[in-house]
Amino acid sequence: MQRIPWITIALGSLLLISVSSKGGQKVQPEESKPPVKTAQRGRILGIGGVFFKSANRDQMREWYSKHLGLADKGGGAMLPWREHDDPQKEHVTVWTVFPASTDYFPATQPFMVNYIVDDMDALLDRLKQEGVKIDAKRMNESYGHFAWIYDADGNKIELWQPVSAKP
């Protein structure tokens, strides 16, 4: 099993920092509620990856490896986890640092989150009906299917259906 890149952790840290502070003032987090359980297909199962940019990619990888144990030798650090409702299903969250010049996600966006989905087609159909902006590009790899959507602020979000996710 591959290890998850340190970028994923850094990105998660950035997300936590941005969520916990607003205008320099601490904001009390809302009470966390578990996702609504439904039999509906087209659900988010978890975070499949956290990607961020660095002008000093190699030094960042080295720093995260040395200090946090997130060794990324090019494929990202892999952090394994299991589904709460079905512990037999194992997934990974990929944490990786991209070069600052990457065009994998917009130049104006410092990081991107990848969500694991159980049924890409069902999710995209539902999002289209709900008026969500969906990128026309699709990518099929040996390890899964990818699509991209944009949130209300225009942030690009990656969706990933691993080959084993759909029954």
Q: What is the pLDDT of residue 4?
A: 42
Q: What is the pLDDT of residues 5-37, one digit of tens each?
A: 444 434 343 333 333 334 444 445 556 555 545
Q: Spell out the alpha helix ranges (H) of the chain.
A: 6-20, 57-68, 120-129
Identify the pLDDT of residue 151: 95
Contact by Cβ (8 Å): 60, 53: no
AA identity, residue 35: P
Asked whether residue 126 carries a pLDDT value surpassing 90, the answer given is yes
Query: Could you report the per-residue pLDDT of 90-112, keeping only the tens digit for each?
Result: 888 899 999 999 999 999 999 99
| Per-residue pLDDT at 156 | 96
Measured distance CA(7)–CA(20) in Å, rounded: 20
Average per-residue pLDDT in the chain?
79
**36-89 tens-digit pLDDT:** 455 678 988 889 999 999 999 989 898 988 988 888 877 888 888 888 888 888
